[in-house]
Amino acid sequence: MNTFSYIINGVHKTSNEIIEVNNPATGELIGKYYASTIEDVEEAIATAKSQQKIWGKLSQEERDQFILQIADAIGSNKSYLAEWITKEQGKPLNGPGAQFEMDACIGWTQVPASLQLSDEIVFEDNTRKDVLKRLPVGVVAAITPWNRPLMIAIWQIIPSIKMGNTVVIKPSEYTTIASLELFRIINDILPAGVLNVVTGDGKIGAHLTAHQDISKIMFTGSIATGRRIIEASTKNMARLTLECGGNDAGIVLPGTDMHQIAEGLFWGSFLNMGQTCAALKRLYVHEDDLDATVEALTTVTKNIKMGNGIEEDVFLSPLQNQMQYDKVNALLEQTKNNSNAKIIIPNPEIPTQGYFIPITLVTGVDHGDAIVDEEQFGPVLPIITYTTLEEAIRKANELEVGLGASVWGTDEHTLDSVAQQMEAGTVWINQHGAIHPFVPFGGVKQSGYGVEFGIEGLKAVTLPKIISYKK
């Protein structure tokens, strides 16, 4: 059985600490990896800082050629990497699962290479001309989560290196092997030291983000960890892009045909078993439409098989780790103490081993219940009733998060009006979670700050500099 190494300055590194990795669907031992030391973090940052002076002198077009080679290499290894995602992260191989994540990796690599962030004349008259240039920020510290380990790593790496930065990346300790294999493929193409990898738990991430030579931190994960990263950045004044989860709200307009939107609601909520930052996690429906909502979602759920994601006909999978499995179960146990709550499990057939929780709908709950107020990050959807749209909008905006949101129905004027009032970085209409590599994405309130993707995402990994010419 392989033990996977991390990479610093193009060299595969080992240590005295070895971590075992198990398949969340079966409990099977699937591999091991070496955990980095604090000394490794120091070496990785020093290497990245030194190499950035060389890499940053290349033009965007020259760096784009490396990036397009990376896209080709990812495509050539798509099936191999997808299988590792399924074995380690748990998501199904097919459907909107691991193969889908790999397609996203390719697309989010190709799109930045197609963009050009050029110098901009921001002011000119007969006395002066002022030109805005975009310079590399320096060394980027990237911290990736376990829910979409390869796709989010690409979101952090590719814009950073395109704009002349170098990267030190720490993958989640829960999904390290698939990440290391992606980084190995990327390192086979890039000059040594442009992408450096360290592994391990939170102490490695903490040392990385607080280091004096880090100029930018990119993080996707929990609000609690995001706050710790903000505190760490006071030591180095690093620029931040933080995506800290959502507990996204969705509002369905009164009288909407639930069967018409049920599949969209289902995958908006339960894609990746709800382990998606921008998943629909609170659904608000008119009190007269509750029964129809439950019926429509139940019909969809009964037709989708849950199991080991490596099986061809499986489209729903386990949660990724014991921690998240316990958290979701604890929220359900709390909910059982609410006499008004009704827990509905449309398809209770699940495997007997692994971190499996069936798709669960919860009615009879409201704000003040933990299942509503806390981000479940699992296959549980609370359905909250309202009497007026004003009430639904107020409740949707009540929590201190705002990554994504959605509104569903047929009246275009009302849909647009509700969307304008919802407090989120992105509001989707008749869809949820539909991100795109050309479209900026980021949260408001405690869901973080800064954006990724498109031209705005490129700007986020640069330093603006004005050159002012006197005429």
Catalytic (active-site) positions: 243, 277
State both tokens at 225.
């960890």
Q: Which of 271, 73, 226 is nearest to 154 (CA)?
A: 73
Distance CA 258, CA 253 (A): 10
Tokens 């009704």, residue? 342
Specify whether the backbone of 450 is left (phi greater than 0), alpha (psi in -120 to 50) or beta. Answer: left
CA distance 369 to 355: 24
Q: Report the alpha-carbon distance of residue 339 to residue 341 in Å, rounded.
A: 6
Backbone angles phi, psi at 451, to 5 degrees: -130, 160
Reading the block at residue 51, the tokens are: 């190499």
Place of tokens 């007969």: 126
In angstroms, the CA 240 to CA 229 distance is 9
What distances in angstroms separate CA 6 from CA 184, 239, 394, one per listed residue?
8, 26, 48
CB within 8 Å of 217: residues ≥ 6 apart:
140, 141, 142, 143, 209, 229, 232, 233, 238, 239, 240, 241, 242
Instruction: Tell me 274's DSSP state.
Output: G
Q: Sign of torsion, CA 198 202 203 205?
A: positive
Whose tokens are 């014991």? That residue is 322
Alpha helices in 248-359 (DSSP H): 258-270, 290-302, 322-336
d(CA 137, CA 461): 6
